Amino acid sequence: MKIITVYNNLKTDSESSGTASSGKMPGWIFLPDSSLMKSGNPFFLPDLEGLFMNEVSKECVAYPSVVFRLSKLGKNIEPRFADRYIGGIGLCVCFVAEDIRRNRAELGLPWTEAVAFDRSFLCGDIVTFENGMQNRRTIDAVMKRADGGCEKVAWTTELLNHPVEEIISRISRMNTIKIGDFLVPALPVEGFRLHIGDSITVTSEGLPPLSVSIK
């Protein structure tokens, strides 16, 4: 089982960088199975150190999204057949050591270490996927801060530069899609900077809500 997190795949990403949406190419990162955390568990802010640099992460950010569970083995999948490989859909939260990610991006280096740590991927309950469920889906998230404040993040799958079927097709050219794989098709531009005592709730019509407390 692998967790495939896609980045650089929202039209707002292209607009903010001043490039045309049609020319924006997505990238993806594979997370290890130890990154998976099931719903109902709190997220403990990690003490993350850079692998090769003398640094400790001070800025953990949560990005709410939708996740697809793949249910068939496949290689070199055509986009028109890709939806047949989706077995389930649910909500998720990806946790990122944002300062490490930003530093690696500025240096032109891979930033896998900022996202692929233990318990960095919170997955909610998965429901059976039906054709069309990924179209025009809105993800709403609210964070109640420990100091009593409130923050909100919302985005829609209509903003995807490249649809889920195309992403599955592209990935399958280089990596075999396996039963039980998870695919996160995009992350929102804005996330929640976390502090101990915060709590996050993610909702989307027709999907089980997802909640997590920060410890």
Contact criterion met (CB below 8 Å) for 213 and 192: no
Residue 51 lies inside a defined structural domain of this protein: no
Give the count of domains, the chain.
1
d(CA 155, CA 187): 9
> Does residue 197 lie in a domain region?
yes
Q: In this structure, is residue 50 part of a structural domain? A: no
Residue 170 lies in a domain: yes
Q: What is the pLDDT of residue 158?
A: 86
Residue 181 lies in a domain: yes
The CA R_g of the chain, rounded to the nearest whole Å, is 17
Entry pTM: 0.89
Spatial distance between the Cα atoms of 107 and 119, rounded to a whole number of angstroms: 26
12 inside domain: yes
> What is the C-alpha separation between 10 and 28, in angstroms, rounded?
13
d(C-alpha 78, C-alpha 61), whole Å = 35
pLDDT value for 57: 64
Nearest to 7 by CA among 32, 34, 27: 27
> What CATH number should be reported for the domain holding residue 23?
3.90.850.10
pLDDT tens per residue, the chain (215 residues)?
999 999 889 886 445 443 334 445 778 999 999 999 999 999 998 876 655 555 556 789 999 999 999 999 999 999 999 999 999 999 999 999 988 888 888 888 888 888 999 999 999 999 988 766 665 678 999 999 988 889 999 988 888 999 999 999 999 999 999 999 999 999 998 899 999 999 999 999 889 999 999 99
Distance between CA atoms of residues 67 and 183, nearest Å? 6
Domain that holds residue 79: 3-41+56-213
Distance CA 165, CA 184 (A): 12
β-pair partners for 56: 49
Q: What is the pLDDT of residue 16?
A: 43
Q: What is the dihedral of CA 167, 168, 169, 171, to 10 degrees?
A: 80
Asked if residue 200 is part of any domain, the answer here is: yes
Give the per-residue pLDDT at 107: 84
Residue 162 within a domain: yes
Short-list 146, 142, 153, 160, CA closest to 200: 142
